[in-house]
């Protein structure tokens, strides 16, 4: 079996723009503009490389933040970019047969499948995918926390030699990490690594946690939060439905809210939203004791985030001389 390490860069429309509001034939969070790949050989060395720029069809105007991050601009993509179907055909021809694909994280896998579907291309060849982060975590005893590629390179004492946020550069650095892993064993044990990842809150658990659970299949954030505050919002003591307060946003797609059980009092609910490979959202949910430090911090943040109350202006009483006879 061949191991192909892949990385992609993609463009996204500016929020609120006409392009962002324009409906697409099928959902796509980003349109691929660069595809990079590196082959990892059976002797644990890095082999040949593949790179293709892609001319966007739907999100043609570059998001200025993405352009700044990647160094890719509209003029270059127009001049050097291939149509997406042609870029994919060249990539598949370069890969050859019997491949296992690896990427650093779940996002590349999901975005590639969305682009394939949007262009009406076969997706079956892209089913044999693995998140190299999870294999790295298991084989380096790094827990379930997702790590940036730069962090993993530092842990393995690998000096970066290529630019970040470049598809080929990131694929190359990921391949250097994969070359030091037992990929055959990692793939054989991948189901357990995924389970460990799902059951964790990725390094965010605080003292006072009572229960943890993972939920799947939510179409978007409103649906996920509605479920966490509704049918899935159960008291850890009795299993009864709790009444949830307003969700407070935190970093890293995390949200927290106070919830109350009529019989057992108040608890803190913390959730983290993550994309699953099928494009839906996964929710990692933690419930804390209402007397915990985490719950106290939530109360303080809720108090600070409350909008100031508008003071009603008191109408001045008319003078006696202004009243009617």
Residues 32, 177 share a domain? yes
Residues 173 and 206 occupy one common structural domain: no
* Residues 183 and 213 reside in one and the same domain: no
**CA 90, CA 118: separation in Å to the nearest integer?**
18
- Strands of 79-138 (E only): list them: 99-103, 129-131
What average pLDDT is seen over the chain? 88
Kindly state the DSSP code that residue 112 receives in the 8-state scheme.
H
Q: What is the pLDDT of residues 7-40, one digit of tens each?
A: 999 999 887 788 888 889 888 889 999 999 999 9
Do 84 and 62 lie in one domain? The reply is yes
User: Can you tell me the distance from the alpha carbon of 6 to that of 36, in angstroms, rounded to the nearest whole number?
Assistant: 6
Same domain as 133, residue 14: yes
Residue 322 lies in a domain: no
Last residue of a domain, one of 154, 182, 197: 197
Confidence tier at 324 by pLDDT (50, 70, 90): very low
The contacts of residue 261 (CB under 8 Å, 6+ apart) are 235, 237, 238, 240, 242, 267
User: Looking at residue 141, which CATH number applies to its domain?
Assistant: 3.30.420.10
The verdict on 73 and 183 lying in the same domain is: yes
The answer to whether 282 and 201 are in contact (CB under 8 A) is: no
Mean per-residue pLDDT for 111-139? Answer: 93
> Same structural domain for residues 134 and 275?
no
**Beta pairing partners, 274:** 282
Domain-terminating residue out of 197, 216, 248: 197
Q: Which domain holds residue 79?
A: 2-197
Q: Is residue 316 included in any domain, yes or no?
A: no
pLDDT per position as a tens digit, 291-320: 988 888 889 888 886 655 565 666 655 555
pTM higher than 0.85? no
Q: Per-residue DSSP letters for 241-308?
A: B-EE---EEETTTEEEEEEEETTTEEEEEEEEEEE-TTSSEEEEEEEEETTSHHHHHHHHHHHHHSPP
Same domain for 191 and 241, yes or no, is no
Is the pLDDT confidence value at 122 over 90?
A: yes
CB 106, CB 130: distance < 8 Å: no
- Whether 281 maps to a domain, the answer reads yes
């Amino acid at each position: 079996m061949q191991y192909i390490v892949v990385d992609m860069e993609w463009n996204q429309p500016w929020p609120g723009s006409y392009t962002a509001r324009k409906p697409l034939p099928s959902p796509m969070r980003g349109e691929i503009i660069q595809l990079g790949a590196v082959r990892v050989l059976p002797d644990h060395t890095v082999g040949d490389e593949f790179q293709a720029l892609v001319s966007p069809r739907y999100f043609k105007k570059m998001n200025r933040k993405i352009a700044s991050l990647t160094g890719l601009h509209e003029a270059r993509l127009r001049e050097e970019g291939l149509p997406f179907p042609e870029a994919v055909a060249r990539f598949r021809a370069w890969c050859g047969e019997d491949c296992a694909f690896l990427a650093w994280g779940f996002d590349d896998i999901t975005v590639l499948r969305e682009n394939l579907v949007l262009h009406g291309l076969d997706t079956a060849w892209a089913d044999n995918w693995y998140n190299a982060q999870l294999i790295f975590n298991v084989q380096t005893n790094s827990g379930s926390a997702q790590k940036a590629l730069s962090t993993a390179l530092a842990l393995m004492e690998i000096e970066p030699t290529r630019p970040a946020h470049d598809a080929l550069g990131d694929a190359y650095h990921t391949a250097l990490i994969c070359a030091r892993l037992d990929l055959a064993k990692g793939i054989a044990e991948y189901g357990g690594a995924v389970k460990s990842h799902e059951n964790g809150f990725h390094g965010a658990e605080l003292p006072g946690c009572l229960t943890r659970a993972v939920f799947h299949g939510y179409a978007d954030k409103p649906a996920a939060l509605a479920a966490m505050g509704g049918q899935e919002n159960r008291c850890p003591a009795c299993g009864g439905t709790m009444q949830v307060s307003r969700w407070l946003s935190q970093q890293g797609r995390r949200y927290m809210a106070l919830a109350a059980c009529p019989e057992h009092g108040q608890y803190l609910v913390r959730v983290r939203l993550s994309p699953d490979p099928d494009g839906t959202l996964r929710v990692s949910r933690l419930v804390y004791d209402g007397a915990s430090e985490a719950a106290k911090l939530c109360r303080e943040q809720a108090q600070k985030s409350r909008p100031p109350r508008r003071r009603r202006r008191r109408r001045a009483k008319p003078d006696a001389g202004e009243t009617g006879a």
